[in-house]
């Protein structure tokens, strides 16, 4: 968290939290959802205005975290702005490098891959040292290479034993993912 944000929290510790105004879609894009957009419909059916200002996106990324309930937020100075998630707290980009490392939409390295998951819609999710996220749709070809390599190298092995084997996905309905991995899609006040 930025030092300026920590200082604002110390100076104004009782600023009310904000809900419904910020959302993260399944491609790692941030959206502002003002009152008009919120009245128009739920996220992601009605997304709002995509945040394109690079410095603002970087500020959000540096101050993005989860509370003890698994509700993700952006700490905007003294105000906690809770985030509506379309799919997961992180959106992974697959790197074209040995082991197919993952990087979050925030720019953070994901760390060790623990397990891959496939939902009923064919979306690929990954649980890593950093946390749980959805593999970006633009990176599915690389992810398929990682899965294929894992299946070839790990034939007959337990899929969770090492980072290579962790790429072998296990099926899990999407509705079970938030509870299993401890996050909320739609944080409530």
SS (H, E, C) the chain: CCHHHHHHHHHCCCCCCEEEEEEECCCCCEEECCHHHHHHCCCCCCCCEECCCHHHHHHHHHCEEECCCCCEEEEECCEEEEEEECCCCEEEEECCCCCCCEEECCCCECCCEEEEEECCCCCEEEEECCCEEEECHHHHHHHHHHHHHHHHHCCCCCCCCCCCHHHCCEECCHHHHHHHHCCCCCCCC
Average pLDDT over residues 132-143: 97
| All structural domains of the chain | 3-85 (3.10.540), 90-177 (no CATH)
Mean pLDDT confidence for 76-87: 94
pLDDT at 137 over 50: yes
- Each residue of 47-79: pLDDT tens digit? 999 999 999 999 999 999 999 999 999 999 888
Mean pLDDT confidence for 85-113: 97
Task: Please state, in angstroms and rounded to a whole number, the distance separating the CA atoms of residues 30 and 50.
Answer: 6
Residue predicted with more confidence, 59 or 155: 59
Average pLDDT for 40-47: 96
Average predicted confidence (pLDDT) for the chain: 91
Q: What is the pLDDT of residue 164?
A: 56
Neighbours of 113 (CB within 10 A): 24
Mean pLDDT, rounded, for 33-50? 96
The pLDDT of residue 160:
45
Residue 162's pLDDT band, with cuts at 50, 70 and 90, is: very low
* Model confidence at 159: pLDDT above 50: no
Task: Give the confidence band of 161 by pLDDT, cuts at 50, 70, 90.
Answer: very low
pLDDT single digits (tens) 139-153? 999 999 999 988 887
In this prediction, what percent of the chain has a pLDDT beyond 90?
78
How many other CB atoms are found less than 10 A from the CB of residue 91? Answer: 25
In this prediction, residue 157 carries a pLDDT of 53
What's residue 7's pLDDT? 79
Residue 178: per-residue pLDDT: 98
């Amino acid at each position: 968290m930025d030092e300026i944000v920590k200082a604002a929290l110390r100076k104004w510790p009782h600023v009310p939290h904000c809900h419904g105004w910020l959302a993260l879609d399944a491609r790692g894009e941030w959206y502002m959802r003002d009152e008009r957009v919120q009245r128009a419909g739920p996220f992601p059916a009605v997304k709002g205005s995509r945040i394109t200002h690079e410095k603002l996106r970087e500020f959000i990324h540096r101050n993005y975290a989860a509370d003890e309930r698994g509700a993700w937020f952006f700490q905007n100075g003294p105000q906690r702005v809770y985030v509506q998630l379309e799919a997961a707290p992180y959106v992974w980009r697959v790197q074209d490098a040995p082991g197919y490392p993952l990087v979050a939409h925030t720019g953070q390295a994901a760390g060790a891959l623990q397990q891959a998951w496939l939902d009923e819609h064919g979306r690929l999710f990954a649980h890593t040292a950093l946390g749980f996220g959805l593999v970006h749709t633009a990176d599915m070809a690389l992810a398929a290479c990682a899965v294929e390599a894992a299946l070839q190298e790990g034939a007959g092995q337990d899929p969770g034993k090492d980072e290579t084997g962790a790429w072998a996905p296990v099926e899990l309905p999407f509705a079970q993912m938030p509870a299993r991995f401890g996050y909320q899609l739609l944080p409530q006040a």
